[in-house]
Amino acid sequence: MGRAVLEPGWKWSKHVKPVAKTKSCEAAHFQYHETGILHVKMDDGTEMDIGPGEISMLPPGHDAWVVGVEPVTLIDFQGMVDYAKPSKK
């Protein structure tokens, strides 16, 4: 379990992809969103915005970024164990 604070301008494919070395985020997430808007784009093209008070379950295979000027804060009950680790492939 972990708490993330994602600042305006943060984008997984810009800030984490160079570390993970995968096409998209391969960590599954089960999250409670406290503040800000997180935009998620799945590898299949599905897109969604997730905001304060919402819960999200994201399977592997997505990109995400902060929308607007408010930081995104969230509690992740699942994905932090695999987050931002280099691919083992």
Which pTM value belongs to this model?
A: 0.88
Structural domain boundaries in the chain: 2-81
CATH fold of 2-81, please? Jelly Rolls (2.60.120)
Say what the pLDDT of residue 35 is: 98
pLDDT in tens, the chain (89 residues): 889 999 999 999 999 999 999 999 999 999 999 999 999 999 999 999 999 999 999 999 999 999 999 999 999 998 666 565 565 65
Say what the pLDDT of residue 88 is: 60
CB of 87 within 8 A of CB of 21? Answer: yes
- Identify the CA nearest to 71 among candidates 33, 35, 34: 35
